[in-house]
């Protein structure tokens, strides 16, 4: 099915995403044993919405991201809502996620996972509950308004010792969010813009820190996506970028262009990037 048919029809798009995520998960143990007690595990929501305000694509599907505030680590980065597991609380929330009207109960493949992959299903429910709790705390996302579409492959953070477990969710009606201290603003990126190769660049970072992938004063370049609006430009890079690229390749067969020859955007990583907040 072509991109235009999918982007122009929310029902087709969500059905396509569910099917592809289910097929890609077959035979894969996405959630390792002991993940519920792991201090290095984070669960995030990959939120999609059909409401894309102030973008020129108001009726098109978009990716909904948070921009991290200056009160926490990695200030200014675009990220998914999510965080570390709270085992006791999130186990209770995982049970609620399976009740009628909640996301897991409505997921087309939930009963199949419970029957054929019970251990993976239990870990999935816990991690998904974590992503929903964090999304509620960070942006007041209503869990009753989220359609769960499936899990994406986990990703490891390069600069921090963490493994991220992403879960794709479709926000059906909510258009207004209320952010907490960890979030500077909500950023809506139309999927059409993510599928345009002209929006990609290389992010050349100067590391003014005693730790990291380069010594103090060293440079390192990373692939990135530039989200340009009348309010300025936000840079999508790092683990969030990698997760988005996995999604785009799975759903649309899209790959970002090679960095060589792309526009160069400069940035600085300083000690506050690692030190602020929690």
- How would residue 230 be classed by pLDDT, with cut points 50, 70 and 90? confident
Q: What is the mean pLDDT of the chain?
A: 92
Task: Please tell me the predicted confidence (pLDDT) of residue 95.
Answer: 95
Q: Residues 44, 50, 55, CA angle at the centre, nearest 5°?
A: 100
Tokens 């493994």 belong to 163
- How would residue 156 be classed by pLDDT, with cut points 50, 70 and 90? confident
Domains of the chain as residue ranges with CATH: 3-275 (3.90.79.10)
What's the whole-model pTM score?
0.94
Q: Is the dihedral of CA 145, 176, 76, 250 positive or negative?
A: positive
Q: Render pLDDT for 42-52 as a digit per residue (tens, 0 to 9).
A: 999 999 998 77
Cα–Cα distance measured from residue 244 to residue 239, given in angstroms and rounded to the nearest whole number: 9
Length of the chain in terms of residues written = 278
Cα of first residue to Cα of last residue in the chain, in angstroms, is 44
103-125 mean pLDDT: 97
Residue 160 reports pLDDT greater than 90: no
Cα–Cα distance measured from residue 134 to residue 120, given in angstroms and rounded to the nearest whole number: 21
96-112 mean pLDDT: 95
Task: Please tell me the predicted confidence (pLDDT) of residue 213.
Answer: 53
Q: Render pLDDT for 245-256 as a digit per residue (tens, 0 to 9).
A: 999 999 999 999
């Amino acid at each position: 099915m072509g991109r235009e048919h999918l982007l122009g029809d929310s029902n087709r798009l969500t059905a396509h995403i569910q099917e592809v995520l289910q097929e890609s998960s077959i035979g894969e143990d996405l959630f390792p044993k002991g993940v519920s007690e792991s201090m290095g595990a984070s669960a995030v929501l990959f939120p999609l919405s059909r409401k894309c305000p102030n973008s020129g694509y108001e009726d098109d599907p978009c990716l909904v991201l948070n921009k991290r505030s200056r009160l926490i680590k990695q200030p200014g980065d675009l990220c998914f809502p999510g965080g570390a597991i709270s085992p006791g609380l999130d186990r209770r929330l995982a049970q609620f996620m399976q009740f009628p009207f909640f996301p897991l109960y409505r997921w087309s493949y939930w009963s199949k996972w419970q029957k054929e992959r019970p251990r993976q299903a239990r870990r999935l429910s816990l991690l998904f509950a974590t992503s929903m709790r964090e999304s509620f705390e960070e942006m007041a996302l209503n869990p009753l308004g989220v359609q769960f579409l499936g899990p994406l492959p986990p990703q490891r953070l390069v600069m921090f010792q963490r493994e991220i477990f992403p879960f794709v969710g479709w926000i059906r009606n909510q258009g207004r969010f209320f952010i907490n201290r960890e979030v500077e603003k909500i950023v809506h990126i139309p999927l059409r813009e993510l599928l345009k190769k002209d929006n990609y660049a290389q992010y050349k970072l100067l590391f003014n820190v005693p730790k990291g992938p380069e010594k103090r004063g060293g440079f390192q370049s990373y692939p990135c996506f530039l989200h340009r609006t009348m309010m300025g430009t936000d840079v999508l890079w790092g683990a969030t970028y990698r997760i988005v690229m996995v999604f785009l390749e799975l759903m649309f067969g899209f790959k970002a262009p090679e960095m060589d020859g792309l526009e160069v955007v400069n940035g600085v990583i300083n000690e506050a990037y690692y030190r602020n907040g929690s």
